Chains A and B, each alone.
Chain A
Amino acid sequence: MNIVVCVKQVPDTEVERTLRQGDGTLDRGSVDGVINYIDEFAIEEGLKIAETHGGEVTILTMGPAKASESIRKALSMGAHKAVHLIDDGLAGSDALETSLALAEVLKSIGFDLVILGSESTDARTGMMPAMLAERLGVPQLTLASKVDVSGSDVTIRRVSDDGYAVVTASLPAVVSVVEKTNEPRYPTFKGIMAAKKKPVQTLTLADISVDAGAVGLANAASWVSDFAARPPRAAGVVVEDEGDGGARVAGFLAERKFI
């Protein structure tokens, strides 16, 4: 089976992040890049399916040269090869444009199953899996907490606030997984060494026949008109508990009419 796992390099969520003055794009230079946390579950799911049903896992990422760090990590976890879509013309692309470019790559490299994390921790639009399914004209099996492949069928548990739905479709399909779908493996030393020899194909916009006028910040359909640091919250009151801590919270709640 030909499994493609889409991976995004994002700024580390454990540190403060900022936007660039001028164009309102993410200042990616200011913080360390890490693999999007939820994508690790997508990689693990892809590896598990390949181990059970045979086939290869290809990592697909779109991003600047620095994104090769995330590719390397995914390969060291056990993915077989990678495709890196890299082109200055893609900088500042919104979700609509990104989905166009990724869909064109997927069409050109072929797939039975595309797996993504349900959302990225930076933009958090949560739209990419659905947009890819729409563009590729294949079933959308998203927000999965459990994935089962059987023959040419895929069945998932699609999580919702009040439970889950069992959803089934035939391959090829797009699957997105939520956190805690599985336990992502750690790269082993052997895996890290092996990753250095695995093939990474780089593609440009010209390679996938996407016009530069269809992507990038200048052509984005959604546009940041301005941004500002959120004004800091007015300093609150912090008291030491001197045996009356609970009562003082209750007093505050009563004063604000919450009780």
Chain B
Amino acid sequence: MDPAKKEHELLVSVSPHVRDSVTVSGIMWTVSAALLPALGAGVYYFGLSALYVTLICIAAAMASESLVNWMTDRKGSLSDGSGFLTGLLLGLNLPPSAPPYIPIIGAFVAIAITKMLFGGLGFNVFNPALVGRAFVLITWPRAMTTWSKAAVGLQQVDATTTATPLGIMKEGVAVSGHTIKGIEALVHEFGTKSDAYKAMLFGNIGGSLGETSAVLILIGGLFLLAKRYISWHIPVSFIGTVAVLAWIFGGIDNETGKMIFFHGDPLAHVLSGGLMLGAFFMATDYVTVPSVRKAQLIFGIGCGALTVLIRLKGGFPEGVMFAILLMNCFTPLLDRKYRTSPFGLRKEAAKQ
């Protein structure tokens, strides 16, 4: 070895000289992988059209990202995996029967407008997939709320439509002349309470692709928790708040049509709709939620409260999407308010 030659080859860079192997793209692809069981369930129950909707979303999301990168002379950012993930999440938020223009336009709004025009990954204020969904929901309300009935089998030709469990609870079902709502309506539709829970747990219900099987989303979410890619703070505070508030305010007296306190069914609210997907995969989107733990708890409670408010009193049967988007607005404020207190400061402050 020639020492003189070696000398000029030495790298000089700032410390630290070792780095953890976790990367942004690694996180994004892992989160995408954690969503695959839920996607699989969607395809299992709703057929290949469900897969097409998701694939169109992903393709349109990545195309939109490339387009904006090209227009703004930035270097490509597809490899960070966040565009793919947004597309996948949007796909899981659409009805399996959505016509192709809905996923395409939804993905464009999500990626081009919500993410890239705000500066790309790390700079967006709102969860891109949810803004995409909100846009198409408001633009095409009928197509976005026509839910295919879940039916096992990949070659579904003539899909029948149904309502989501939340829709059933909110709108009620007509039984011998008068309408019954709430958990009793679900019991009427599914036979028994436990049959209703079972259907919602495993996904044999109407709904978006990804809101069908609570248990498969939970598996993906627990995997992310175990990998420490997400922390428990938001999912627990979000779901917990929904459960408590649904219990307090969700009860309905079908004789009088009035709310009765402390008679709601928390489990029906927790297992139905987009709550699992929202709490584990959307309200934990790093960029648009607080990063301080204490602020995350407030964020989750806010999401839960808004969700229940919209579900019980709002115009839509489901409120997870708007709840998260509204709370996204508060993210910078929460992070600022709940700034961490440095080591050694608390004691000093206590003394003064």
Do chains A and B stick together as partners?
Answer: no
